[in-house]
Amino acid sequence: MRSSRLLDLIVPQRCAGCAAPATAWCSWCARWLGAPVPVSRPGLSSAYALADYRGPPRRAVLAYKERGRRELAVPLGGALAAALPSIRAGPVMLVPAPSRPAAARSRGGQHMTTVARRCAALLPDARVVPALRMDGRAADSVGLDAEARAANLVGRLRPNPRHRPPAEVPAVVLDDVITTGATATACVAALESINVPVAAVLALTATP
């Protein structure tokens, strides 16, 4: 705690969304992550996002995922926890969408697993199960179109044998951004291949 306060004196904390001082995520930016809105993508049903991938939400996702702002897992997980009951009531299994191993290593771990745990800590009937994994053959999806993104994940996003989920508990897949929907669709297919019912996909943001 003392070292954290010292760091704040040297490099004052600023809001990831708008750069307001003395906070990681200000109340004004927090309003951008609102109620879940349905996201329409070919082949993907029951998908929702809290915001468009622009403005403060986009900056917060990038700061958390790519720039080491790990403290943002708390407000991002809290926003998902506030939205989840309107999508799924009762017991639920939170399954974080996995990243490529190389990307996870560069980020200090699977970033959506951390957010999912923060989300579950606020919900009495939620548990986190890292039931999916992506192998190292998957390429970075930046710049790929929808068809190429889907092809990139074939056989590379699979159930994780180390964390086999109970088939009787519905799953909600958590992700940071829905773009073409390829990752979300692959996550749903992988869970359904082991007879896990998927109630929804819930993302922080979605591209228009």
Q: What is the pLDDT of residue 1?
A: 42
Asked if residue 27 is part of any domain, the answer here is: no
Q: What is the pLDDT of residue 14?
A: 94
Asked if residue 148 is part of any domain, the answer here is: yes
Whole-structure pTM value: 0.89
- The parent domain of residue 188 ranges over 32-206
Asked if residue 167 is part of any domain, the answer here is: yes
Domain count within the chain: 1
Asked if residue 6 is part of any domain, the answer here is: no
Output b/e per residue, 115-124; b: 16+ Cβ within 10 A.
Answer: bbbbbbeebe
Q: What is the pLDDT of residue 135?
A: 83
The CATH number of the domain holding residue 177 is 3.40.50
User: Rounded to whole angstroms, what are the CA distances from 144 to 139, 149, 152?
Assistant: 10, 6, 9
Mean pLDDT per 10-residue section of the chain, whose length is 208 residues: 46 88 96 97 94 98 94 98 94 94 86 97 96 76 68 78 87 97 95 95 96
Q: What is the pLDDT of residue 100?
A: 84
Q: What is the pLDDT of residue 152?
A: 60
